[in-house]
Amino acid sequence: MHWDESKLLINYQQVLQALDAANQAANRQSPAGLLAVSKTKPATMIRALYEAGQQDFGENYLQEALGKIDALNDLPITWHYIGSIQRNKTRDIAKYFDWVHTIEREVIAKRLNEQRAGLPPLNALIQVNIDDEDSKSGCLPDELPSLIRAMMNYENLRLRGLMVIPNKAGSDAFVRTKALFDEMAERFKLPQWDSLSMGMSGDMAEAVANGSTMVRVGTAIFGAREYA
């Protein structure tokens, strides 16, 4: 795949500036960080972005991600799994990733916990289906407390917060997700409950204004995707 390095680096600087402006506008004490979503993009692009200072990368498709993780294993990249998780994928996610954003069921969390044994704890976020839609993945808000209670006992997972993909532009999904995040913080008092993964290329500033700690940005950095 042909790509233009100077374009990539310009995009990256623009996204960093926009994120910085959003953090300042929101008066954030600890600024929201940037997860570069590199799905469908080649390892060479990830390497160039890493060299420009980007540490955290997000991938959705396991087989594709494993190839890139292997090709880049000389770099101390922090890898985030942000795709949907089927049972037969948990072993590789537990083995090769540093974060997982898309836990939605106890059975998946349990497998990840077992398969992570012997490694440092896997940073874990629960994906919430904040708009309660059949077509969306994620744990329903009502089911969240019981999933948290189960995950609190998993010593190989470090439960750090929530992730959301709102389905309607202009809804108050970010506001409601932040409220849920705060409610769970108050209720469970988990020591490491510090992460709210929300916002993408199109709504990064709005997400930061509403309490996101990590925005997941693909297109605005890497350009349009040719598939998926």
Give me the residues that bind ligand PLP (CB under 6 A), please. Answer: 37, 39, 60, 82, 165, 200-202, 216-220
- Considering the complex, state which of residue 117 and residue 169 has its C-beta at the smaller distance from ligand PLP: 169
Minimal CB distance to ligand PLP: which residue? 218
Using H for helix, E for strand and C for coil, what is the string for 94-120? HHHCCEEEEECCHHHHHHHHHHCCCCC
- Considering the complex, state which of residue 44 and residue 201 has its C-beta at the smaller distance from ligand PLP: 201
Q: Least distance from C-beta 85 to ligand PLP, angstroms?
A: 12
User: What's the length of the chain?
Assistant: 228
Tokens of 32: 């929201």
Q: Least distance from C-beta 75 to ligand PLP, angstroms?
A: 21
Identify whether the C-beta of residue 85 lies closer than 8 Å to the C-beta of residue 61.
no
What span, in angstroms and rounded, lies between the C-alpha atoms of 122 and 101? Answer: 11
- Considering the complex, state which of residue 117 and residue 228 has its C-beta at the smaller distance from ligand PLP: 228
What is the number of helices (H) and of strands (E) in the chain? 9, 8
- Considering the complex, state which of residue 15 and residue 144 has its C-beta at the smaller distance from ligand PLP: 15
Q: Least distance from C-beta 165 to ligand PLP, angstroms?
A: 5
Q: Least distance from C-beta 187 to ligand PLP, angstroms?
A: 26
Strand, helix or coil for residue 123:
strand
